[in-house]
Amino acid sequence: MVTLMDCIERIPLKLEEIANKRDVRLSGLLEYLERKDEIDEIIFVASGTSYNSAFTIKSFCENVCGIRATLVYPNIFVNYTEKLNPKALYVLISQGGSTRLVYEALEKVKKLGYLNCSITASLDSIIANHADVAIEMGCAHEEYNYRTLGYSTTVATLYMMCIDIARLYNNITEEQVSDLLEDFGNLYESLVEIKGKTLSWYYENKFSLMKRNKMMVAATNDLWPVAQESDIKVMEMVPMITRSFELEEFIHGPQNSFDDSTVFFILSRKGEDEEKAKAIAKFIKNEIGFCAIIGNSTMGERDLEINPRSKYFSTLEYITPMQVIAYKLADDHGRDLKRAVNAQVTKYITKTI
């Protein structure tokens, strides 16, 4: 039987395929945009893991590619957003391809005649068939609803999309594109190495992790959305109550709820509030309980040191430990990830078409 760990282990190969086939996969979108006026914004409409994927690449899209990026939840977009940007490209993301509110958001955009494209796991889906341009997510069939492969391939697809749109509008040069793609290639072996390190770390700390029933994850910059995705993965897979925070916000109101029944993770990258991250971790370790820094700016005891090889795309390296930890906690708690916990919810509300 395919395990969720098997899905995680397929990620490096799928990322390589996405990079190698990007010219073919994104050609339809680029041809579509070439015939239109230049966009001034990309608006991503998505929920859950798909939302986190778009949030993950927002900083890259704006700061490297020079394109403003906005994120909107489908329910807010459909029911509570009145004025839409006529110069934007609307990107509707749904891994299953049949999320009801994402479809309704697409219809809203199309009725106004605005530019749109979909990103779905299969091009043979109602959302993909309805969009002006359909892009394949790159994950193929993912055996579990708790998306690990889907998150990573969506992030990768969005990175490639931003690069190609930026090149189309001359926001970046061909040399910069080559440098970015070379840097992306550093991920493939790195993800395998990080998975191995995480498993070793997990077995060393398994007892401390298993005896706690809550989790908090904190990070800053583009690792904050990685923390949010970690939050969802642990909450839906283990399952246990989790919360994620931007690093500075973490030490305001939330610290009043810190206690020893909570596992604390801080995702930390050198040069990005690393001293603040270490100070918070030291406080938790000394005064509260279990805390681990994950990254290349660690303190030693209980921390999980990883050394990302990618300059621009290390978000995909930082999510790997949290994907592995979420799976191992779920497995060691005896969770059957093929079975929904509250399957009866579908009697009350329908999320798909």
For the chain, the distance separating the N- and C-terminal CA atoms, rounded to the nearest angstrom, is: 29
Q: What is the 3-state secondary structure (H, E, C) of the chain?
A: CCCHHHHHHHHHHHHHHHHHCHHHHCHHHHHHHHCCCCCCEEEEECCHHHHHHHHHHHHHHHHCCCCCEEEECHHHHHHHCCCCCCCEEEEEECCCCCEHHHHHHHHHHHHCCCEEEEEECCCCCHHHHHCCEEEECCCCCCCCCCCCHHHHHHHHHHHHHHHHHHHHCCCCCHHHHHHHHHHHCCHHHHHHHHHHHHHHHHHHHHHHHHCCCEEEEEECCCHHHHHHHHHHHHHHHCCCEEEEEEHHHHCCHHHHHCCCCEEEEEEECCCCCHHHHHHHHHHHHHHCCCEEEEECCCCCCCCEECCCCCCCCCHHHHHHHHHHHHHHHHHHCCCCCCCCCCHHHHHCCCCEC
CA of residue 212 relative to chain centroid, distance? 25
Percent of the chain predicted with pLDDT > 70: 100
**Dist CA 220 CA 273 (whole Å):** 8
Selected from 3.40.50.720, 3.40.50.300, 3.40.50.10490, 1.10.10.10, the CATH number assigned to the domain covering 188-332 reads 3.40.50.10490
pLDDT tier, 173 (very low <50, low <70, confident <90, very high otherwise): very high
Domain ranges across the chain? 4-185, 188-332
Across 12-22, average pLDDT: 98
Give the closest residue to 45 by CA, choosing from 119, 151, 147, 98: 119
By the 10 Å C-beta count (0-12 exposed, 13-18 middle, 19+ buried), 14 is classed as buried
Structure tokens at 343: 């399957």
Facing residues of 14 across strands? none
Give the number of other Cβ atoms within 10 Å of residue 153's Cβ.
28
Give the number of other Cβ atoms within 10 Å of residue 20's Cβ.
12
pLDDT computed for residue 1 by the predictor: 87
pLDDT in tens, 239-280: 999 999 999 999 999 999 999 999 999 999 999 999 999 999
Percent of the chain predicted with pLDDT > 90: 98
Please determine, looking at this structure, whether the domain spanning 4-185 carries the CATH number 3.40.50.10490: yes
pLDDT computed for residue 301 by the predictor: 84
pLDDT computed for residue 124 by the predictor: 97
pLDDT computed for residue 350 by the predictor: 86
Over 90: is that where the pLDDT of 133 sits? yes
Over 90: is that where the pLDDT of 57 sits? yes
Side-by-side strand order, sheet with 133-136: 69-72, 41-45, 88-93, 115-120, 133-136
CB 72 within 8 A of CB 327: no
Structure tokens at 81: 């957003």
